[in-house]
Amino acid sequence: MHNLKNDLLLRALRGETVERPPVWMMRQAGRYLPDYMKLRAKYDFFTRVETPELACEITLQPIDQIGVDAAIIFSDILVIPQAMGLEVLLEENKGPLLPKVVATQADVDALITTDVADRLHYVMEALTLTKQELNGRVPLIGFAGAPWTILCYMVEGKGSKSWDKAKQFCFTQPELAHSLLQKITDVTIQYLNAQVKAGADLVQVFDSWSGMLSPADFRTYALPYLQQIVDGVKGAPVILFPKGSWYALPDLTSTGCAGIGIDWCIEPALARQMTNNSITLQGNFDPARLLAPIPEIQRSVKEMIMAFGPQRYIANLGHGITPNVPVDHAKAFVDAVKGFSL
């Protein structure tokens, strides 16, 4: 293991006292960076994901250019459906497309659940290479999509505003839905453990669409599987990010995860109250606010840190950075956190 020169993120997750909050940004490796656009013009999306040298280069760009306190491996949550035998197409600016969706028991039975680490060897190679290149500068984050969110894509076949088909699938065939969620969960645990072995210092689970579920349905279709992942990942802290599911904060706190990511639709004080001040929270700057003038970003960041309190806190966005954010605005966000003092 490389000794970390900057272990702020890991210390914040352990609840140790830090001199300032750590900062990173979801989707920091990507489409707002001119150097990323150059690679995007040359290589299609899955080539970028499946070529360890490219994934590594992209992962390192925000470390060098923006100065964040952590690297997150460049990949995609939809490598899991791919590993399970479903075709995933990605058109630039169009979003993902899964031509063959999961609809029946036979479809669920046909999914592959073994040898995930081998099938996704390129992610492990990218992690190991990136870990070497980072040489201890900052921690490296691995990630996966949460089972509910992966089910959404597998059943719906593409992005959706309301995920009606995914919900209909769960509500009309609950047993089948649970068997699919269980398969995704088993594969995801294997995958995350392989990432930790390959060099990830921590992992984050993105439940991008859990906010589409009612509190009762969240407890049925999302929470039990997030719990299994927290229990099943060994040797690294787990951050859960169920976007929009602020109502579930008490339940999420008792999963034993190391941190919870939240979006901008809940006030920091309420999030602290609902988590009993007992867990590290991550978030929750609205990415659209990065389009505001820089002095305003600086002011808002300070307000955000004060509202959460600088301990047991990771400064981040409440969702991924959008492509239209100027690089100097992203940097201003990071610098504002790094310059924080009481």
Binding site, by residue number, is 27-31, 46, 76, 153, 208, 319
For tokens 């352990």, what's the residue?
14
Rounded CA gap, 87 and 99, in Å? Answer: 7
Annotated active-site residue in 32, 36, 153, 191? 153
Rounded CA gap, 99 and 154, in Å? Answer: 10
Annotated active-site residue in 32, 36, 48, 76? 76
Active-site residue flag, 31 = yes
Annotated active-site residue in 14, 31, 137, 219? 31
Nearest to 5 by CA among 136, 145, 147, 169: 136
The span from the first CA to the last CA of the chain, in angstroms, equals 34
Residues 96 and 169 sit within 8 Å (Cβ to Cβ): no
Task: Could you list the residues known to form a binding site for substrate, using ranges.
Answer: 27-31, 46, 76, 153, 208, 319
SS3 content of the chain, % helix, strand, coil (to 5): 50, 10, 35
Amino acid identity at 3: N
Active-site residue flag, 20 = no
Helices (H) and strands (E) in the chain, counts: 17, 9
Here the tokens at position 107 are 């479809």
Residues 321 and 30 sit within 8 Å (Cβ to Cβ): yes
Rounded CA gap, 29 and 33, in Å? Answer: 8
Active-site residue flag, 27 = yes
Residues 6+ apart with CB under 8 A from 109: none
Annotated active-site residue in 11, 14, 35, 40? 40
- The four Cα atoms 79, 82, 83, 84 give a dihedral, to 10 degrees, of 130
The DSSP annotation for 7-41 comes to -HHHHHHHT---SS--B--TT-SSTTSHHHHHHHH
Here the tokens at position 57 are 């280069």
Rounded CA gap, 76 and 259, in Å? Answer: 21
How would you class 269 by CB atoms within 10 Å of its CB: exposed for 0-12, middle for 13-18, buried for 19 or more? exposed
Catalytic residues: 27, 31, 40, 76, 153
